[in-house]
């Protein structure tokens, strides 16, 4: 990975109806434009992503997606309208940032949910994309959402029973095996009572920490951001909103439209031990995306040092290719 670098420019971009998107850029202002798309939804960009790009080669751009991080308003604000936070809205926000920064075409790089957003953007605007590097690959399909909220409970039955039991005890009509658990939590996290929303966010993030840890590497520690009531409520609200709506994907899903990315170079990096999102999704995407490269890191899961190293290598390799386009 590359040395960390500080932003050279930051800003808040109004995108309509009171929404403002935080953006930042670092690296070489005359370099190859690349945008990093964070996970969650709702995690915020942080700063570790900058180490995945050679700052001498890349103009490194990122943003905090609508409703989270340093963008405003946050999704936990009273009266926040989730109907104005969908994948088409996020794509439009990316386009607004691209135009604002004077970028013609950029490299897309996304992790976890960010890979879903990168694919959705690329399918909507293939002419604006130089290449794509994705890690912890997801498409937020029905099968993936069912796996991460229901089926993987077979691996963690104690934690899942507590997770599902909380929703069942909330008296909202949910019972395990009857209805989708993600829909139940989406209802709880949009409840008018702030105490209900706060408690549901705690339960959701507790489950998140259970399944995300496997294969994360020896140095992986719990995510201290979950200790922040505002962060965990924003995160849980947006995750359940997007997952309950299957990422607002078009009919047929993202994999069914990969022909739109023909000719765009892509690298998919996934951990074999990623129990939150099995490598099957990356495999299916690779098979549907002619010319893509799949790299499976055998001893890591939903992130880790070797995945990060492979990510940095991939952006460096694509630099030579994308600089010609």
Four-residue CA torsion sign, 318, 320, 322, 323: positive
CA 63, CA 10: separation in Å to the nearest integer? 9
- The token pair that represents 31 in the structure block: 């370099």
- The token pair that represents 81 in the structure block: 């309208």
Task: Assess whether the previous peptide bond of 73 is cis (omega < 30° from 0).
Answer: yes
- Residue 180, CB-side half-sphere exposure with 13 Å CA sphere: 18
Confidence (pLDDT) at 219? 53
Confidence (pLDDT) at 325? 46
- The token pair that represents 101 in the structure block: 């920064």
Confidence (pLDDT) at 215? 53
Tell whether pTM > 0.85: yes
Kind of pairing, strands 266-271 and 293-297? parallel
User: Distances in Å between the alpha carbon of 113 and those of 130, 194, 325?
Assistant: 20, 26, 27
Which residues are catalytically annotated? 112, 274, 302
CA 60, CA 28: separation in Å to the nearest integer? 8
Judged by phi (left if over 0) then psi (alpha if -120 to 50, else beta), residue 211 lies in: alpha
- Cβ-based neighbours of 268, under 8 Å, separated by 6 or more: 134, 137, 282, 285, 286, 292, 293, 294, 295
According to DSSP, residue 174 is labeled -
Q: With beta carbons less than 8 A apart as the criterion, state whether 23 and 15 touch.
A: no
Q: What is the pLDDT along the chain (325 residues), one digit of tens a residue?
A: 899 899 999 999 999 999 999 999 999 999 999 999 999 999 999 999 999 999 999 999 999 999 999 999 999 999 999 999 999 999 999 999 999 999 999 999 999 999 999 999 999 999 999 999 999 999 999 999 999 999 999 999 999 999 999 999 999 999 998 999 999 999 999 999 999 999 999 999 999 999 987 655 445 567 788 999 999 999 999 999 999 999 999 888 999 999 999 999 999 999 999 999 999 999 999 999 999 999 999 999 999 999 999 999 999 999 987 665 4
Q: With beta carbons less than 8 A apart as the criterion, state whether 222 and 62 touch.
A: no
Q: With beta carbons less than 8 A apart as the criterion, state whether 132 and 108 touch.
A: yes
Q: What is the separation of C-alpha 214 from the centre of its chain, rounded to a whole number of angstroms?
A: 18
User: Distances in Å between the alpha carbon of 68 and those of 35, 105, 132, 231?
Assistant: 17, 25, 24, 8
């Amino acid at each position: 990975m590359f040395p960390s670098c500080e932003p050279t420019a930051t800003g808040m971009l109004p995108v309509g109806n009171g929404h403002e998107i935080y953006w930042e850029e670092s690296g070489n202002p005359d370099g190859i434009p690349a945008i990093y798309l964070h996970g969650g939804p709702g995690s915020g960009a942080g700063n570790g992503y900058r180490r995945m790009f050679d700052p001498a080669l890349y103009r490194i751009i990122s943003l905090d997606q609508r409703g989270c991080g340093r963008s405003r308003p946050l999704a936990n604000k009273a009266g926040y309208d989730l109907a104005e936070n969908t994948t088409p809205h996020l794509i439009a926000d990316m386009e607004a940032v691209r135009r604002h920064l004077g970028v013609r075409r950029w490299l897309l790089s996304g992790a976890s949910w960010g890979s879903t957003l990168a694919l959705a953007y690329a399918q909507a605007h293939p002419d604006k994309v130089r290449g794509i590097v994705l890690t912890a690959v997801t498409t937020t399909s029905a099968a993936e959402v069912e796996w991460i909220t229901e089926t993987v409970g077979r691996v963690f039955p104690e934690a899942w029973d507590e997770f599902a039991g909380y929703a069942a005890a909330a008296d909202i009509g949910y019972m395990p095996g009857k209805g989708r658990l993600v829909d139940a939590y989406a209802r709880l996290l949009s409840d008018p009572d702030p105490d209900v929303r706060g408690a549901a966010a705690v339960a959701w993030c507790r489950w998140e920490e259970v399944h995300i840890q496997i294969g994360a590497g020896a140095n992986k520690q719990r995510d201290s951001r979950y200790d922040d009531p505002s962060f965990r409520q924003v995160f849980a609200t947006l995750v359940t909103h997007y997952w309950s709506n299957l990422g607002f994907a078009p009919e047929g899903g993202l994999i069914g439209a990969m022909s739109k990315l023909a000719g765009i170079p892509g690298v998919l990096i996934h951990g074999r031990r990623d129990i939150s999102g099995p490598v099957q999704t990356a495999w299916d995407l690779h098979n549907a995306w002619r010319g893509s490269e799949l790299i499976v890191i055998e001893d890591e899961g939903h992130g880790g040092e070797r995945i990060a190293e492979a990510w940095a290598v991939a952006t460096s390799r694509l630099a030579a290719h994308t600089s010609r386009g």
